[in-house]
Structure 1
Protein backbone atom coordinates (compact mmCIF):
# COMPACT_ATOMS: atom_id res chain seq x y z
CA UNK A 1 0.00 0.00 0.00
CA UNK A 2 1.40 3.37 -1.01
CA UNK A 3 0.88 6.01 1.69
CA UNK A 4 1.81 9.62 1.06
CA UNK A 5 1.18 13.00 2.63
CA UNK A 6 0.88 14.58 -0.81
CA UNK A 7 -2.47 14.70 -2.68
CA UNK A 8 -1.09 12.60 -5.54
CA UNK A 9 1.41 9.86 -6.29
CA UNK A 10 4.07 10.81 -8.85
CA UNK A 11 3.79 8.72 -12.01
CA UNK A 12 0.36 7.33 -11.08
CA UNK A 13 -3.07 8.62 -12.02
CA UNK A 14 -5.90 8.42 -9.50
CA UNK A 15 -8.93 6.83 -11.10
CA UNK A 16 -11.30 6.68 -8.16
CA UNK A 17 -11.61 8.14 -4.68
CA UNK A 18 -12.95 5.46 -2.36
CA UNK A 19 -13.39 7.56 0.77
CA UNK A 20 -11.60 8.26 4.00
CA UNK A 21 -9.39 5.54 5.44
CA UNK A 22 -8.81 5.84 9.14
CA UNK A 23 -7.32 4.04 12.08
CA UNK A 24 -7.25 5.11 15.68
CA UNK A 25 -6.18 4.03 19.12
CA UNK A 26 -6.80 5.47 22.57
CA UNK A 27 -3.89 4.94 24.93
CA UNK A 28 -3.71 5.52 28.65
CA UNK A 29 -0.64 6.28 30.66
CA UNK A 30 0.64 3.60 32.99
CA UNK A 31 1.56 4.32 36.61
CA UNK A 32 5.00 2.73 36.25
CA UNK A 33 5.79 4.92 33.27
CA UNK A 34 4.36 7.98 35.03
CA UNK A 35 6.63 7.38 38.01
CA UNK A 36 9.77 7.07 35.90
CA UNK A 37 8.70 10.02 33.72
CA UNK A 38 8.21 12.11 36.87
CA UNK A 39 11.77 11.35 37.92
CA UNK A 40 13.03 12.33 34.46
CA UNK A 41 11.08 15.56 34.71
CA UNK A 42 13.18 16.51 37.73
CA UNK A 43 16.51 16.10 35.93
CA UNK A 44 15.31 17.15 32.45
CA UNK A 45 15.73 15.58 29.05
CA UNK A 46 13.54 13.45 26.84
CA UNK A 47 10.84 11.43 28.54
CA UNK A 48 11.55 8.18 26.71
CA UNK A 49 8.64 6.33 28.34
CA UNK A 50 6.09 8.67 26.75
CA UNK A 51 7.98 8.86 23.45
CA UNK A 52 7.86 5.07 23.19
CA UNK A 53 4.18 4.96 24.19
CA UNK A 54 3.22 7.48 21.52
CA UNK A 55 5.42 5.82 18.88
CA UNK A 56 3.67 2.48 19.51
CA UNK A 57 0.28 4.21 19.31
CA UNK A 58 1.18 5.92 16.00
CA UNK A 59 2.25 2.58 14.50
CA UNK A 60 -0.99 0.93 15.61
CA UNK A 61 -3.16 3.76 14.25
CA UNK A 62 -1.20 3.74 10.96
CA UNK A 63 -1.55 -0.04 10.57
CA UNK A 64 -5.29 0.17 11.26
CA UNK A 65 -5.66 2.91 8.63
CA UNK A 66 -3.84 0.79 6.03
CA UNK A 67 -6.09 -2.16 6.89
CA UNK A 68 -9.17 0.06 6.52
CA UNK A 69 -7.97 1.26 3.11
CA UNK A 70 -7.32 -2.34 2.05
CA UNK A 71 -10.87 -3.25 3.05
CA UNK A 72 -12.09 -0.43 0.79
CA UNK A 73 -10.08 -1.91 -2.09
CA UNK A 74 -7.57 0.95 -2.22
CA UNK A 75 -4.24 0.96 -4.03
CA UNK A 76 -2.98 3.94 -2.04
CA UNK A 77 -3.71 6.50 0.63
CA UNK A 78 -3.07 10.14 -0.26
CA UNK A 79 -3.15 13.26 1.92
CA UNK A 80 -2.23 11.14 4.95
CA UNK A 81 -2.20 12.84 8.37
CA UNK A 82 -1.97 12.12 12.09
CA UNK A 83 -3.95 13.96 14.72
CA UNK A 84 -4.18 13.61 18.48
CA UNK A 85 -6.72 14.59 21.09
CA UNK A 86 -7.07 14.19 24.83
CA UNK A 87 -10.00 11.99 25.78
CA UNK A 88 -9.68 12.39 29.54
CA UNK A 89 -6.82 13.02 31.92
CA UNK A 90 -4.08 10.50 31.24
CA UNK A 91 -5.45 9.26 27.89
CA UNK A 92 -4.97 10.35 24.32
CA UNK A 93 -6.38 9.32 20.97
CA UNK A 94 -4.06 9.01 17.99
CA UNK A 95 -5.93 9.12 14.66
CA UNK A 96 -4.32 8.32 11.32
CA UNK A 97 -6.38 9.27 8.28
CA UNK A 98 -6.17 9.89 4.58
CA UNK A 99 -7.98 9.50 1.29
CA UNK A 100 -8.21 5.94 -0.03
CA UNK A 101 -7.80 5.84 -3.81
CA UNK A 102 -7.59 3.39 -6.71
CA UNK A 103 -5.27 4.01 -9.63
CA UNK A 104 -6.34 3.90 -13.26
Structure 2
Protein backbone atom coordinates (compact mmCIF):
# COMPACT_ATOMS: atom_id res chain seq x y z
CA UNK A 1 0.00 0.00 0.00
CA UNK A 2 1.31 3.42 -0.96
CA UNK A 3 1.65 6.09 1.73
CA UNK A 4 2.23 9.76 1.05
CA UNK A 5 2.30 13.01 2.98
CA UNK A 6 1.07 14.74 -0.18
CA UNK A 7 -2.55 14.78 -1.35
CA UNK A 8 -1.74 13.34 -4.79
CA UNK A 9 0.42 10.53 -6.15
CA UNK A 10 2.32 11.07 -9.37
CA UNK A 11 1.21 8.65 -12.08
CA UNK A 12 -2.09 7.87 -10.37
CA UNK A 13 -5.56 9.34 -10.33
CA UNK A 14 -7.57 9.13 -7.12
CA UNK A 15 -10.90 7.56 -8.02
CA UNK A 16 -12.48 7.22 -4.57
CA UNK A 17 -11.96 8.85 -1.20
CA UNK A 18 -12.79 6.20 1.40
CA UNK A 19 -12.36 8.24 4.57
CA UNK A 20 -10.02 9.04 7.40
CA UNK A 21 -7.82 6.26 8.79
CA UNK A 22 -5.74 6.48 11.95
CA UNK A 23 -3.18 4.57 13.93
CA UNK A 24 -2.32 5.10 17.58
CA UNK A 25 0.34 3.60 19.81
CA UNK A 26 1.24 4.29 23.42
CA UNK A 27 4.40 2.64 24.72
CA UNK A 28 5.75 2.83 28.26
CA UNK A 29 9.43 3.45 28.82
CA UNK A 30 11.14 0.93 31.09
CA UNK A 31 13.43 1.78 34.00
CA UNK A 32 16.64 0.86 32.13
CA UNK A 33 15.78 3.21 29.27
CA UNK A 34 14.98 5.95 31.80
CA UNK A 35 18.36 5.53 33.49
CA UNK A 36 20.26 5.47 30.20
CA UNK A 37 18.28 8.45 28.93
CA UNK A 38 19.18 10.40 32.08
CA UNK A 39 22.87 9.58 31.62
CA UNK A 40 22.68 10.71 27.99
CA UNK A 41 21.05 13.98 29.13
CA UNK A 42 24.10 14.71 31.28
CA UNK A 43 26.92 13.54 29.01
CA UNK A 44 25.35 14.27 25.65
CA UNK A 45 24.88 12.06 22.62
CA UNK A 46 22.01 10.09 21.26
CA UNK A 47 19.59 8.05 23.39
CA UNK A 48 19.56 4.84 21.33
CA UNK A 49 17.07 3.04 23.58
CA UNK A 50 14.56 5.86 23.25
CA UNK A 51 15.15 6.09 19.51
CA UNK A 52 14.43 2.37 19.21
CA UNK A 53 11.19 2.74 21.18
CA UNK A 54 10.18 5.70 19.05
CA UNK A 55 10.81 3.72 15.87
CA UNK A 56 8.80 0.76 17.14
CA UNK A 57 5.87 2.98 18.14
CA UNK A 58 5.93 4.72 14.75
CA UNK A 59 5.99 1.40 12.88
CA UNK A 60 3.09 -0.01 14.92
CA UNK A 61 1.01 3.14 14.34
CA UNK A 62 1.63 3.06 10.58
CA UNK A 63 0.80 -0.64 10.39
CA UNK A 64 -2.45 -0.07 12.30
CA UNK A 65 -3.40 2.76 9.92
CA UNK A 66 -2.58 0.55 6.89
CA UNK A 67 -4.69 -2.29 8.30
CA UNK A 68 -7.67 0.04 8.70
CA UNK A 69 -7.25 1.33 5.13
CA UNK A 70 -7.01 -2.21 3.78
CA UNK A 71 -10.34 -3.10 5.42
CA UNK A 72 -11.86 -0.21 3.43
CA UNK A 73 -10.38 -1.56 0.19
CA UNK A 74 -7.84 1.24 -0.21
CA UNK A 75 -4.86 1.24 -2.56
CA UNK A 76 -3.11 4.11 -0.79
CA UNK A 77 -3.23 6.60 2.06
CA UNK A 78 -2.63 10.25 1.19
CA UNK A 79 -2.14 13.31 3.37
CA UNK A 80 -0.38 11.24 6.03
CA UNK A 81 0.51 13.16 9.16
CA UNK A 82 2.25 11.95 12.33
CA UNK A 83 2.40 13.32 15.85
CA UNK A 84 4.63 12.39 18.78
CA UNK A 85 3.77 13.17 22.41
CA UNK A 86 4.73 12.10 25.90
CA UNK A 87 1.85 11.16 28.17
CA UNK A 88 1.37 10.09 31.76
CA UNK A 89 1.98 11.85 35.04
CA UNK A 90 5.77 11.82 34.57
CA UNK A 91 5.77 11.79 30.79
CA UNK A 92 6.91 8.17 31.03
CA UNK A 93 4.90 6.98 28.05
CA UNK A 94 5.34 7.78 24.41
CA UNK A 95 2.32 8.26 22.16
CA UNK A 96 2.58 8.18 18.39
CA UNK A 97 -0.46 8.91 16.25
CA UNK A 98 -0.82 9.01 12.49
CA UNK A 99 -3.69 9.79 10.19
CA UNK A 100 -4.45 10.10 6.51
CA UNK A 101 -7.11 9.62 3.88
CA UNK A 102 -7.67 6.14 2.44
CA UNK A 103 -8.12 6.24 -1.34
CA UNK A 104 -8.56 4.03 -4.38
CA UNK A 105 -6.30 4.68 -7.35
CA UNK A 106 -6.16 4.28 -11.09
CA UNK A 107 -2.84 4.34 -12.94
CA UNK A 108 -2.70 7.07 -15.59
User: Once structures 1 and 2 are overlaid, which stretch shifts more, 11-20 or 36-45?
Assistant: 36-45
Q: Is 1:91–2:93 an aligned residue pair?
A: yes
- Output the CA distance in 2 between the equivalents of 1:93 and 1:20: 19
- TM-score normalized with structure 2 length: 0.90
Match of 1:9 in 2: 9
Match of 1:102 in 2: 104
- Output the CA distance in 1 between the equivalents of 2:99 and 2:3: 10
- Output the CA distance in 1 between the equivalents of 2:25 and 2:56: 10
- Output the CA distance in 2 between the equivalents of 1:46 and 1:79: 30
1:18-50 Cα deviation digits (max 9, x unpaired): 001111101111101111111222211111111
Match of 1:72 in 2: 72
1:6-85 mapped onto 2 (5 Å cutoff): 6-85=6-85
Residue-pair matches, total: 104
Pairwise CA RMSD = 1.1
Q: Structure 2 unaligned segments of length 5 or more: list them.
A: none
- Output the CA distance in 2 between the equivalents of 1:52 and 1:94: 13
Moved over 4 A (4+): none
1:49-84 Cα deviation digits (max 9, x unpaired): 111110110011011111110011101000111112
- Output the CA distance in 2 between the equivalents of 1:64 and 1:51: 20
